[in-house]
Amino acid sequence: MKAVSKPIRIVLLALVVISGLALARSDLFFQIKKQLTIFSDVFREVSIHYVDEVPPETLMKQGIRGMLSGLDPYTVFVDEGEQQQMEILSSGTYGGVGIEAGYRGDRIVIIAPLEGYPAQRAGLRPGDQIIKINGLAVEGMSPEEVQQLTIGDVGTILRMELRRPGHDQTIEVELERERIEVKNISFAGKIGDNDQFGYVKLTRFGQNTGEELRARLAELNSTGDLEGLILDLRNNPGGLLNEAVEVVDKFIEPGVTVVETRGRYENQNNVYTTDEPALFEDMPIVVVMNSGSASASEVVAGALQDLDRAVVVGETSFGKGLVQTVRPLSYNTSLKITVSQYFTPSGRGIQSMDYARYSDEGGIEVADSLRRAFRTKNGRTVFDGQGIEPDIKLEGDRRSLLEIALKQENEFFFFISDRLAEGRYEEGALPESLYRDFTRYLVEKGFSFETPVDQHIEALENNIDRFSSETGANEHISELKALLRDYKVAELYDQRSMIERELRSEWYSQTLEGENRERRLLDYDPYITRSTELLSQMDQYMTILRP
Protein backbone atom coordinates (compact mmCIF):
# COMPACT_ATOMS: atom_id res chain seq x y z
CA MET A 1 0.00 0.00 0.00
CA LYS A 2 1.37 3.34 -1.00
CA ALA A 3 2.23 5.67 1.91
CA VAL A 4 0.24 8.90 2.24
CA SER A 5 2.39 11.96 1.61
CA LYS A 6 3.11 14.44 4.45
CA PRO A 7 1.06 17.35 2.93
CA ILE A 8 -1.96 15.08 2.57
CA ARG A 9 -1.59 13.91 6.18
CA ILE A 10 -1.55 17.53 7.36
CA VAL A 11 -4.70 18.31 5.34
CA LEU A 12 -6.46 15.22 6.72
CA LEU A 13 -5.47 16.16 10.28
CA ALA A 14 -6.77 19.70 9.76
CA LEU A 15 -10.09 18.32 8.45
CA VAL A 16 -10.40 16.09 11.54
CA VAL A 17 -9.76 19.04 13.87
CA ILE A 18 -12.25 21.27 12.04
CA SER A 19 -14.84 18.51 12.05
CA GLY A 20 -14.31 18.00 15.79
CA LEU A 21 -14.76 21.71 16.49
CA ALA A 22 -17.89 21.82 14.35
CA LEU A 23 -19.36 18.84 16.21
CA ALA A 24 -18.53 20.40 19.58
CA ARG A 25 -20.13 23.70 18.54
CA SER A 26 -23.19 21.87 17.22
CA ASP A 27 -23.51 20.01 20.52
CA LEU A 28 -23.22 23.32 22.44
CA PHE A 29 -26.03 24.89 20.42
CA PHE A 30 -28.17 21.78 20.94
CA GLN A 31 -27.64 21.97 24.70
CA ILE A 32 -28.49 25.70 24.72
CA LYS A 33 -31.72 25.04 22.78
CA LYS A 34 -32.64 22.12 25.05
CA GLN A 35 -32.10 24.05 28.30
CA LEU A 36 -33.94 27.13 26.99
CA THR A 37 -36.93 24.94 26.13
CA ILE A 38 -36.98 23.51 29.66
CA PHE A 39 -36.63 26.99 31.18
CA SER A 40 -39.44 28.30 28.98
CA ASP A 41 -41.71 25.44 30.03
CA VAL A 42 -41.08 26.10 33.74
CA PHE A 43 -41.55 29.85 33.28
CA ARG A 44 -44.89 29.35 31.51
CA GLU A 45 -46.22 26.84 34.05
CA VAL A 46 -45.34 28.99 37.07
CA SER A 47 -46.71 32.16 35.45
CA ILE A 48 -50.07 30.48 34.67
CA HIS A 49 -50.63 27.89 37.39
CA TYR A 50 -48.80 29.03 40.56
CA VAL A 51 -51.16 29.56 43.54
CA ASP A 52 -50.32 33.29 43.74
CA GLU A 53 -50.09 35.54 40.74
CA VAL A 54 -46.45 36.40 40.00
CA PRO A 55 -45.78 39.14 37.42
CA PRO A 56 -43.78 37.64 34.53
CA GLU A 57 -41.24 40.47 34.77
CA THR A 58 -40.57 39.66 38.44
CA LEU A 59 -40.29 35.96 37.72
CA MET A 60 -37.86 36.53 34.87
CA LYS A 61 -35.66 38.87 36.92
CA GLN A 62 -35.50 36.27 39.69
CA GLY A 63 -34.57 33.63 37.14
CA ILE A 64 -31.83 35.77 35.63
CA ARG A 65 -30.53 36.70 39.07
CA GLY A 66 -30.40 33.03 40.05
CA MET A 67 -28.65 32.09 36.80
CA LEU A 68 -25.92 34.71 37.25
CA SER A 69 -25.48 34.22 41.01
CA GLY A 70 -23.21 31.21 40.46
CA LEU A 71 -20.80 33.31 38.36
CA ASP A 72 -18.58 36.21 39.37
CA PRO A 73 -20.20 39.35 40.88
CA TYR A 74 -19.21 41.49 37.88
CA THR A 75 -21.44 39.62 35.43
CA VAL A 76 -24.77 41.41 35.84
CA PHE A 77 -28.01 42.01 33.97
CA VAL A 78 -28.68 45.70 33.24
CA ASP A 79 -32.38 46.47 33.17
CA GLU A 80 -33.97 49.13 30.98
CA GLY A 81 -34.19 51.57 33.90
CA GLU A 82 -30.48 51.16 34.68
CA GLN A 83 -29.22 52.01 31.20
CA GLN A 84 -28.83 55.66 32.16
CA GLN A 85 -26.29 54.73 34.82
CA MET A 86 -24.38 52.70 32.23
CA GLU A 87 -24.30 55.79 30.00
CA ILE A 88 -22.77 57.80 32.81
CA LEU A 89 -20.03 55.19 33.26
CA SER A 90 -19.20 55.12 29.57
CA SER A 91 -19.57 58.79 28.67
CA GLY A 92 -18.43 60.41 31.90
CA THR A 93 -21.24 62.99 31.79
CA TYR A 94 -24.82 63.19 33.02
CA GLY A 95 -27.58 65.67 33.72
CA GLY A 96 -27.66 66.79 37.34
CA VAL A 97 -27.07 69.59 39.83
CA GLY A 98 -23.60 68.62 41.08
CA ILE A 99 -23.93 67.05 44.49
CA GLU A 100 -22.58 63.94 46.13
CA ALA A 101 -24.92 62.46 48.75
CA GLY A 102 -23.88 60.26 51.65
CA TYR A 103 -24.69 59.09 55.15
CA ARG A 104 -23.92 61.26 58.15
CA GLY A 105 -25.21 59.29 61.09
CA ASP A 106 -28.65 58.16 59.99
CA ARG A 107 -29.21 61.22 57.82
CA ILE A 108 -28.69 61.72 54.08
CA VAL A 109 -26.60 64.85 53.63
CA ILE A 110 -24.66 66.64 50.94
CA ILE A 111 -21.04 65.52 51.23
CA ALA A 112 -19.71 68.06 48.77
CA PRO A 113 -21.32 70.28 46.13
CA LEU A 114 -19.22 70.10 42.96
CA GLU A 115 -17.50 73.38 42.31
CA GLY A 116 -19.00 75.48 39.53
CA TYR A 117 -22.29 73.58 39.25
CA PRO A 118 -25.89 74.58 40.24
CA ALA A 119 -25.83 73.27 43.84
CA GLN A 120 -22.63 75.11 44.70
CA ARG A 121 -23.76 78.31 43.00
CA ALA A 122 -27.02 78.18 44.95
CA GLY A 123 -25.07 78.17 48.23
CA LEU A 124 -25.61 74.55 49.24
CA ARG A 125 -22.87 73.34 51.54
CA PRO A 126 -21.47 70.18 53.12
CA GLY A 127 -23.69 68.95 55.93
CA ASP A 128 -26.98 70.18 54.50
CA GLN A 129 -29.49 67.42 55.20
CA ILE A 130 -31.66 66.39 52.26
CA ILE A 131 -35.34 66.11 53.29
CA LYS A 132 -37.23 65.91 49.99
CA ILE A 133 -36.48 65.83 46.27
CA ASN A 134 -39.32 66.96 44.01
CA GLY A 135 -41.73 66.48 46.91
CA LEU A 136 -40.59 62.91 47.60
CA ALA A 137 -39.30 62.28 51.13
CA VAL A 138 -35.90 60.58 51.09
CA GLU A 139 -36.15 59.08 54.57
CA GLY A 140 -35.27 55.40 54.40
CA MET A 141 -33.50 55.73 51.04
CA SER A 142 -29.84 54.93 50.43
CA PRO A 143 -27.40 57.63 49.19
CA GLU A 144 -27.34 55.87 45.80
CA GLU A 145 -31.13 56.08 45.49
CA VAL A 146 -31.08 59.76 46.44
CA GLN A 147 -28.28 60.40 43.95
CA GLN A 148 -30.35 58.73 41.23
CA LEU A 149 -33.26 61.11 41.96
CA THR A 150 -31.04 64.09 41.19
CA ILE A 151 -30.16 62.77 37.71
CA GLY A 152 -32.33 63.82 34.77
CA ASP A 153 -32.42 65.60 31.44
CA VAL A 154 -30.38 68.77 31.09
CA GLY A 155 -32.58 71.84 31.50
CA THR A 156 -35.20 70.21 33.74
CA ILE A 157 -35.95 71.59 37.20
CA LEU A 158 -35.04 69.86 40.47
CA ARG A 159 -36.66 71.03 43.71
CA MET A 160 -34.95 70.19 46.97
CA GLU A 161 -35.95 70.68 50.59
CA LEU A 162 -33.03 70.77 53.00
CA ARG A 163 -32.29 71.32 56.67
CA ARG A 164 -29.14 73.20 57.58
CA PRO A 165 -27.39 72.77 60.95
CA GLY A 166 -28.13 75.74 63.21
CA HIS A 167 -31.34 76.71 61.38
CA ASP A 168 -34.84 75.82 62.52
CA GLN A 169 -36.54 76.41 59.19
CA THR A 170 -36.05 74.11 56.21
CA ILE A 171 -34.54 75.54 53.05
CA GLU A 172 -36.20 75.09 49.66
CA VAL A 173 -34.16 75.50 46.48
CA GLU A 174 -35.00 75.19 42.81
CA LEU A 175 -32.12 74.12 40.57
CA GLU A 176 -31.85 73.62 36.84
CA ARG A 177 -30.00 70.46 35.82
CA GLU A 178 -26.84 70.94 33.79
CA ARG A 179 -24.44 68.62 32.04
CA ILE A 180 -22.16 67.33 34.80
CA GLU A 181 -18.76 66.01 33.84
CA VAL A 182 -17.37 63.20 35.95
CA LYS A 183 -13.71 64.06 36.36
CA ASN A 184 -10.96 61.57 35.66
CA ILE A 185 -8.42 63.73 37.47
CA SER A 186 -9.72 65.37 40.63
CA PHE A 187 -6.54 67.30 41.40
CA ALA A 188 -3.14 67.93 39.84
CA GLY A 189 -0.56 70.23 41.36
CA LYS A 190 2.94 70.68 42.70
CA ILE A 191 3.90 69.54 46.18
CA GLY A 192 7.09 69.22 48.22
CA ASP A 193 9.16 71.74 50.17
CA ASN A 194 10.05 73.56 46.97
CA ASP A 195 7.13 72.45 44.79
CA GLN A 196 9.58 70.13 43.04
CA PHE A 197 7.24 67.13 42.70
CA GLY A 198 4.11 66.68 40.64
CA TYR A 199 1.01 65.14 42.17
CA VAL A 200 -1.94 63.73 40.19
CA LYS A 201 -5.05 62.20 41.76
CA LEU A 202 -6.66 59.82 39.24
CA THR A 203 -10.20 59.03 40.36
CA ARG A 204 -11.34 56.92 37.39
CA PHE A 205 -10.31 55.74 33.94
CA GLY A 206 -12.97 57.32 31.76
CA GLN A 207 -12.71 58.62 28.23
CA ASN A 208 -9.65 60.80 27.50
CA THR A 209 -7.90 60.01 30.79
CA GLY A 210 -4.57 59.52 29.02
CA GLU A 211 -4.76 62.82 27.17
CA GLU A 212 -5.90 64.67 30.30
CA LEU A 213 -2.89 63.28 32.14
CA ARG A 214 -0.55 64.35 29.34
CA ALA A 215 -1.95 67.90 29.42
CA ARG A 216 -1.77 68.18 33.23
CA LEU A 217 1.82 66.93 33.39
CA ALA A 218 2.91 69.23 30.56
CA GLU A 219 1.34 72.16 32.40
CA LEU A 220 3.06 71.26 35.68
CA ASN A 221 6.40 70.77 33.92
CA SER A 222 6.14 74.07 32.03
CA THR A 223 6.79 76.13 35.16
CA GLY A 224 9.99 74.26 36.05
CA ASP A 225 11.21 70.73 35.52
CA LEU A 226 9.60 68.25 37.86
CA GLU A 227 11.97 66.12 39.94
CA GLY A 228 9.41 63.36 40.37
CA LEU A 229 5.74 62.40 40.16
CA ILE A 230 3.24 60.92 42.61
CA LEU A 231 0.40 59.12 40.83
CA ASP A 232 -2.39 58.59 43.37
CA LEU A 233 -4.68 55.66 42.50
CA ARG A 234 -6.27 55.18 45.91
CA ASN A 235 -9.95 54.21 45.79
CA ASN A 236 -9.86 54.33 41.98
CA PRO A 237 -12.26 51.54 40.91
CA GLY A 238 -10.94 51.35 37.34
CA GLY A 239 -12.76 51.96 34.08
CA LEU A 240 -11.67 51.72 30.46
CA LEU A 241 -8.74 49.39 29.74
CA ASN A 242 -7.49 51.38 26.75
CA GLU A 243 -7.18 54.47 28.97
CA ALA A 244 -5.08 52.53 31.48
CA VAL A 245 -2.75 51.60 28.60
CA GLU A 246 -2.68 55.26 27.50
CA VAL A 247 -1.60 56.30 31.00
CA VAL A 248 1.31 53.83 31.04
CA ASP A 249 2.19 54.95 27.50
CA LYS A 250 3.20 58.36 28.85
CA PHE A 251 6.10 56.85 30.81
CA ILE A 252 7.30 53.88 28.71
CA GLU A 253 9.02 53.73 25.31
CA PRO A 254 7.06 52.31 22.32
CA GLY A 255 6.61 48.60 21.71
CA VAL A 256 6.47 47.45 25.35
CA THR A 257 3.70 45.16 26.63
CA VAL A 258 1.46 46.82 29.21
CA VAL A 259 -1.16 44.11 29.77
CA GLU A 260 -2.55 40.93 28.23
CA THR A 261 -6.13 39.68 28.29
CA ARG A 262 -6.77 35.95 28.04
CA GLY A 263 -10.23 34.48 27.60
CA ARG A 264 -12.13 31.43 26.46
CA TYR A 265 -11.82 32.17 22.75
CA GLU A 266 -8.91 33.29 20.62
CA ASN A 267 -10.51 36.64 19.78
CA GLN A 268 -10.56 37.50 23.49
CA ASN A 269 -6.78 37.08 23.78
CA ASN A 270 -5.11 40.44 23.22
CA VAL A 271 -1.77 42.06 23.93
CA TYR A 272 -1.79 45.82 24.58
CA THR A 273 1.49 47.65 24.00
CA THR A 274 2.78 51.19 24.14
CA ASP A 275 3.00 52.96 20.79
CA GLU A 276 3.94 56.59 21.46
CA PRO A 277 7.28 58.16 22.38
CA ALA A 278 7.35 58.55 26.16
CA LEU A 279 7.07 62.18 27.26
CA PHE A 280 8.31 61.51 30.78
CA GLU A 281 10.53 58.47 30.26
CA ASP A 282 13.11 59.34 32.95
CA MET A 283 10.93 61.00 35.57
CA PRO A 284 10.99 59.12 38.93
CA ILE A 285 7.47 57.91 39.76
CA VAL A 286 5.75 56.75 42.93
CA VAL A 287 2.37 55.05 42.53
CA VAL A 288 0.16 55.25 45.62
CA MET A 289 -2.64 52.70 46.03
CA ASN A 290 -4.80 51.02 48.64
CA SER A 291 -7.30 48.19 48.93
CA GLY A 292 -9.80 50.30 46.94
CA SER A 293 -7.55 50.41 43.87
CA ALA A 294 -9.04 47.96 41.37
CA SER A 295 -9.14 46.79 37.75
CA ALA A 296 -7.58 49.41 35.44
CA SER A 297 -5.78 50.91 38.46
CA GLU A 298 -4.13 47.55 39.04
CA VAL A 299 -3.19 47.34 35.35
CA VAL A 300 -1.32 50.65 35.64
CA ALA A 301 0.33 49.84 38.98
CA GLY A 302 1.22 46.29 37.88
CA ALA A 303 2.72 47.39 34.57
CA LEU A 304 4.85 50.18 36.06
CA GLN A 305 6.00 47.79 38.80
CA ASP A 306 6.80 44.91 36.45
CA LEU A 307 8.74 47.23 34.15
CA ASP A 308 10.60 48.69 37.16
CA ARG A 309 9.39 52.11 36.10
CA ALA A 310 7.83 53.12 39.44
CA VAL A 311 7.91 52.31 43.14
CA VAL A 312 4.48 51.28 44.44
CA VAL A 313 3.61 52.57 47.92
CA GLY A 314 0.60 51.78 50.12
CA GLU A 315 -1.57 48.71 50.55
CA THR A 316 -2.22 45.59 48.50
CA SER A 317 -4.78 46.39 45.82
CA PHE A 318 -8.28 44.94 45.52
CA GLY A 319 -7.46 42.08 43.15
CA LYS A 320 -9.99 42.50 40.32
CA GLY A 321 -8.39 40.97 37.27
CA LEU A 322 -11.57 40.15 35.35
CA VAL A 323 -12.48 41.96 32.11
CA GLN A 324 -16.09 42.79 31.25
CA THR A 325 -17.81 43.76 28.05
CA VAL A 326 -21.40 44.99 27.61
CA ARG A 327 -23.58 42.86 25.31
CA PRO A 328 -26.80 44.59 24.16
CA LEU A 329 -30.02 42.59 24.63
CA SER A 330 -33.65 43.04 23.61
CA TYR A 331 -35.93 45.86 24.88
CA ASN A 332 -33.10 48.26 25.80
CA THR A 333 -31.49 45.88 28.28
CA SER A 334 -27.95 44.57 28.31
CA LEU A 335 -25.62 42.09 29.95
CA LYS A 336 -22.28 43.13 31.45
CA ILE A 337 -20.35 39.88 31.21
CA THR A 338 -16.84 38.75 32.13
CA VAL A 339 -14.99 37.55 29.03
CA SER A 340 -11.30 37.43 29.99
CA GLN A 341 -8.65 38.12 32.65
CA TYR A 342 -5.82 40.65 32.98
CA PHE A 343 -2.16 39.63 33.08
CA THR A 344 0.69 42.07 33.73
CA PRO A 345 3.89 42.26 31.60
CA SER A 346 5.64 39.62 33.74
CA GLY A 347 2.72 37.23 33.11
CA ARG A 348 1.18 37.33 36.59
CA GLY A 349 -2.56 37.42 37.13
CA ILE A 350 -4.23 40.16 39.17
CA GLN A 351 -7.38 38.28 40.22
CA SER A 352 -7.53 37.39 43.93
CA MET A 353 -10.80 35.39 43.98
CA ASP A 354 -11.38 32.13 42.13
CA TYR A 355 -15.02 32.12 41.03
CA ALA A 356 -14.67 28.84 39.16
CA ARG A 357 -14.67 27.17 42.58
CA TYR A 358 -17.64 27.98 44.76
CA SER A 359 -18.17 28.77 48.41
CA ASP A 360 -21.10 30.31 50.28
CA GLU A 361 -19.72 33.72 49.29
CA GLY A 362 -19.53 32.76 45.62
CA GLY A 363 -15.75 32.43 45.27
CA ILE A 364 -12.62 31.20 47.00
CA GLU A 365 -9.52 33.28 47.75
CA VAL A 366 -6.40 32.14 45.97
CA ALA A 367 -4.38 30.22 48.58
CA ASP A 368 -0.82 31.34 49.35
CA SER A 369 0.42 27.86 48.39
CA LEU A 370 -1.01 28.32 44.88
CA ARG A 371 0.55 31.73 44.27
CA ARG A 372 3.32 31.76 41.67
CA ALA A 373 6.50 33.83 41.53
CA PHE A 374 7.34 36.05 38.56
CA ARG A 375 10.22 38.38 37.73
CA THR A 376 10.18 42.09 36.95
CA LYS A 377 12.37 43.59 34.22
CA ASN A 378 15.27 44.00 36.70
CA GLY A 379 14.77 40.57 38.25
CA ARG A 380 12.73 41.46 41.34
CA THR A 381 10.33 38.77 42.56
CA VAL A 382 6.59 39.48 42.42
CA PHE A 383 3.65 37.15 43.02
CA ASP A 384 0.26 36.62 41.41
CA GLY A 385 -3.13 35.84 42.90
CA GLN A 386 -3.65 38.72 45.33
CA GLY A 387 -3.81 41.91 43.34
CA ILE A 388 -0.72 44.14 43.25
CA GLU A 389 1.43 44.15 46.38
CA PRO A 390 3.30 47.40 47.12
CA ASP A 391 7.08 47.72 47.18
CA ILE A 392 6.75 49.80 50.34
CA LYS A 393 3.86 48.60 52.46
CA LEU A 394 2.18 51.14 54.70
CA GLU A 395 -0.12 49.98 57.45
CA GLY A 396 -3.77 50.16 56.51
CA ASP A 397 -6.40 52.05 58.39
CA ARG A 398 -5.93 50.40 61.78
CA ARG A 399 -8.04 52.82 63.72
CA SER A 400 -8.56 52.81 67.45
CA LEU A 401 -11.99 52.12 68.94
CA LEU A 402 -12.25 55.82 69.77
CA GLU A 403 -11.49 56.91 66.20
CA ILE A 404 -13.92 54.37 64.75
CA ALA A 405 -16.71 55.60 67.05
CA LEU A 406 -16.02 59.27 66.32
CA LYS A 407 -16.15 58.65 62.57
CA GLN A 408 -19.17 56.36 62.71
CA GLU A 409 -21.08 59.09 64.54
CA ASN A 410 -19.55 61.73 62.25
CA GLU A 411 -18.58 63.81 65.25
CA PHE A 412 -15.76 65.66 63.46
CA PHE A 413 -18.03 66.59 60.53
CA PHE A 414 -20.96 67.83 62.60
CA PHE A 415 -18.81 69.64 65.17
CA ILE A 416 -17.16 71.80 62.50
CA SER A 417 -20.34 72.13 60.41
CA ASP A 418 -22.52 73.20 63.36
CA ARG A 419 -20.05 75.75 64.70
CA LEU A 420 -19.53 77.34 61.31
CA ALA A 421 -23.30 77.54 60.84
CA GLU A 422 -23.73 79.09 64.29
CA GLY A 423 -21.00 81.65 63.63
CA ARG A 424 -18.79 80.50 66.50
CA TYR A 425 -15.77 80.32 64.19
CA GLU A 426 -14.84 82.55 61.29
CA GLU A 427 -13.78 80.89 58.04
CA GLY A 428 -10.14 81.84 58.15
CA ALA A 429 -7.14 80.59 60.05
CA LEU A 430 -7.44 77.33 61.96
CA PRO A 431 -8.82 78.16 65.46
CA GLU A 432 -6.28 77.46 68.20
CA SER A 433 -9.02 76.28 70.56
CA LEU A 434 -10.35 73.60 68.18
CA TYR A 435 -9.13 70.55 70.13
CA ARG A 436 -10.13 72.00 73.53
CA ASP A 437 -13.59 72.95 72.25
CA PHE A 438 -14.08 69.53 70.68
CA THR A 439 -13.19 67.51 73.77
CA ARG A 440 -15.43 69.73 75.92
CA TYR A 441 -18.23 69.23 73.38
CA LEU A 442 -17.85 65.43 73.58
CA VAL A 443 -17.81 65.36 77.38
CA GLU A 444 -20.85 67.66 77.66
CA LYS A 445 -22.92 65.54 75.25
CA GLY A 446 -21.94 62.35 77.08
CA PHE A 447 -20.16 60.81 74.12
CA SER A 448 -18.99 57.24 74.68
CA PHE A 449 -17.75 54.29 72.68
CA GLU A 450 -17.99 50.55 73.19
CA THR A 451 -15.04 48.39 74.16
CA PRO A 452 -14.71 44.63 74.79
CA VAL A 453 -14.79 45.47 78.51
CA ASP A 454 -18.29 46.95 78.08
CA GLN A 455 -19.45 43.64 76.65
CA HIS A 456 -17.93 41.67 79.55
CA ILE A 457 -19.54 43.97 82.11
CA GLU A 458 -22.91 43.61 80.38
CA ALA A 459 -22.52 39.83 80.49
CA LEU A 460 -21.77 40.00 84.23
CA GLU A 461 -24.83 42.18 84.87
CA ASN A 462 -27.06 39.78 82.90
CA ASN A 463 -25.87 36.92 85.10
CA ILE A 464 -25.74 38.77 88.39
CA ASP A 465 -28.37 36.49 89.93
CA ARG A 466 -25.81 33.68 89.87
CA PHE A 467 -23.73 35.47 92.46
CA SER A 468 -24.49 35.72 96.13
CA SER A 469 -25.20 39.18 97.46
CA GLU A 470 -22.43 38.57 99.96
CA THR A 471 -19.82 38.62 97.21
CA GLY A 472 -20.44 42.33 96.59
CA ALA A 473 -20.68 41.76 92.87
CA ASN A 474 -22.71 44.94 92.28
CA GLU A 475 -20.09 47.12 93.96
CA HIS A 476 -17.31 45.54 91.93
CA ILE A 477 -19.24 46.12 88.72
CA SER A 478 -19.82 49.77 89.66
CA GLU A 479 -16.11 50.18 90.30
CA LEU A 480 -15.33 48.63 86.92
CA LYS A 481 -17.74 51.02 85.21
CA ALA A 482 -16.14 54.02 86.91
CA LEU A 483 -12.68 52.88 85.85
CA LEU A 484 -13.93 52.35 82.31
CA ARG A 485 -15.40 55.87 82.19
CA ASP A 486 -12.06 57.30 83.34
CA TYR A 487 -10.27 55.26 80.69
CA LYS A 488 -12.53 56.56 77.92
CA VAL A 489 -12.04 60.18 78.99
CA ALA A 490 -8.28 59.59 79.15
CA GLU A 491 -8.36 58.28 75.58
CA LEU A 492 -9.53 61.71 74.40
CA TYR A 493 -6.22 63.11 75.68
CA ASP A 494 -3.97 60.15 74.86
CA GLN A 495 -5.12 60.30 71.22
CA ARG A 496 -4.84 64.05 70.91
CA SER A 497 -2.65 63.87 67.78
CA MET A 498 -5.26 61.77 65.93
CA ILE A 499 -8.11 64.08 66.99
CA GLU A 500 -6.20 67.22 65.98
CA ARG A 501 -5.35 65.66 62.61
CA GLU A 502 -8.99 64.82 61.88
CA LEU A 503 -10.20 68.23 63.05
CA ARG A 504 -7.68 69.98 60.79
CA SER A 505 -8.72 67.88 57.81
CA GLU A 506 -12.41 68.52 58.45
CA TRP A 507 -11.80 72.23 58.93
CA TYR A 508 -10.03 72.59 55.60
CA SER A 509 -12.62 70.37 53.87
CA GLN A 510 -15.42 72.71 54.93
CA THR A 511 -13.70 76.10 54.73
CA LEU A 512 -11.53 75.86 51.62
CA GLU A 513 -12.35 75.12 47.99
CA GLY A 514 -10.65 73.71 44.93
CA GLU A 515 -6.87 73.42 44.83
CA ASN A 516 -6.35 75.21 48.13
CA ARG A 517 -8.38 72.56 49.93
CA GLU A 518 -6.70 69.64 48.15
CA ARG A 519 -3.21 70.97 48.79
CA ARG A 520 -3.91 71.50 52.48
CA LEU A 521 -5.35 68.00 52.92
CA LEU A 522 -2.25 66.46 51.32
CA ASP A 523 -0.10 68.07 54.01
CA TYR A 524 -1.65 65.67 56.55
CA ASP A 525 -1.69 62.57 54.37
CA PRO A 526 0.86 59.97 55.62
CA TYR A 527 0.89 58.15 52.26
CA ILE A 528 1.89 61.32 50.43
CA THR A 529 4.40 62.29 53.10
CA ARG A 530 6.14 58.91 52.71
CA SER A 531 6.08 59.26 48.91
CA THR A 532 7.71 62.69 48.92
CA GLU A 533 10.36 61.39 51.34
CA LEU A 534 11.14 58.57 48.92
CA LEU A 535 11.41 60.89 45.91
CA SER A 536 13.78 63.07 47.94
CA GLN A 537 16.08 60.07 48.54
CA MET A 538 17.05 58.82 45.10
CA ASP A 539 19.53 56.29 46.48
CA GLN A 540 16.73 54.51 48.33
CA TYR A 541 14.40 54.86 45.33
CA MET A 542 16.91 53.26 42.94
CA THR A 543 17.85 50.53 45.44
CA ILE A 544 14.23 49.36 45.43
CA LEU A 545 14.04 49.21 41.64
CA ARG A 546 17.53 47.78 41.11
CA PRO A 547 18.37 45.62 44.11
State the number of CA atoms in the 13 A half-sphere of 220 facing the CB: 24
**CA separation, residue 168 to residues 162, 421, 436 (Å):** 11, 12, 27
Q: How many Cα atoms sit within 13 Å of 253 on the Cβ side?
A: 2
Contact 439, 499 (CB under 8 A): yes
What are the boundaries of each domain within the chain? Answer: 36-69, 93-181, 185-396, 401-530
pLDDT for the residue numbered 19 = 59
Superfamily of domain 93-181: PDZ domain (2.30.42.10)
- CATH classification code of 185-396: 3.90.226.10
Q: What percent of the chain has pLDDT over 70?
A: 84
* Mean pLDDT, the chain, whole residue set: 84
Which DSSP category does 330 fall into?
S
Contact 274, 256 (CB under 8 A): yes
Q: Give the list of residues 6+ apart from residue 168 with CB closer than 8 angstroms, or none.
A: none
Largest Cα separation within the chain, whole Å, is 110
Residue 16 has pLDDT above 90, yes or no: no
Q: Which sequence positions are flagged as catalytic? A: 295, 306, 320
What is the full DSSP assignment across 291-320? TT--THHHHHHHHHHHTT--EEEES-----
pLDDT at 465: 60
Q: Among 169-173, 317-321, 398-402, 416-420, which stretch is predicted with the lowest mean pLDDT?
A: 398-402
Q: What is the pTM of this model?
A: 0.75
User: Alpha-carbon distance 254 to 451, whole Å?
Assistant: 56
487 vs 294, which has greater pLDDT? 294
pLDDT of residue 3: 56
Confidence class for position 397, pLDDT limits 50, 70, 90 = low
Contact 281, 253 (CB under 8 A): yes
pLDDT tens-digit series, residues 364-393? 677 777 789 999 999 999 999 889 999 999
Mean pLDDT of 138-150: 82
List pLDDT tens digits, range 45-82. Answer: 999 999 999 899 889 989 988 888 888 878 888 887 66
